Amino acid sequence: MYLVHVVETPPSTLDVDFGSYKKRLVDAADLKLRELKAQLEIHAPHAVIDGRVSEGIRQEVVRRNADLIITGRGHAQATFNTMWSRLYPIIRRSPCPVLSI
């Protein structure tokens, strides 16, 4: 088992550099994931990466030669109903089966 969390941040432009902002977001997500793993007593390696969700997951799946993606909804998903807009490209681009819970 390997956990991946993708932080989707705005792309840098020539006139705006989001580098430090992206680093803070990734670091905060990494800390939150570590706390959640400790609370749930999950002992699995993880990665927090910056990028488009579907592409970041696909890259990790290919890199780790994964045979299954398990994805779930966050707390805000039910409120903002963005699960389907993020889930469809994950399923479509995945080189392996996807289980959504």
Torsion of CA 51, 57, 60, 61, to 10 degrees: -160
Q: Which tens digits make up the pLDDT trace of 27-54?
A: 999 999 999 999 999 999 999 999 888 8
d(CA 66, CA 60): 8
Q: Which tens digits make up the pLDDT trace of 52-85?
A: 888 999 999 999 999 999 988 665 555 555 555 7
d(CA 92, CA 20): 32
Identify the residue whose tokens are 């290919």.
62
The two tokens of residue 62 are 């290919």
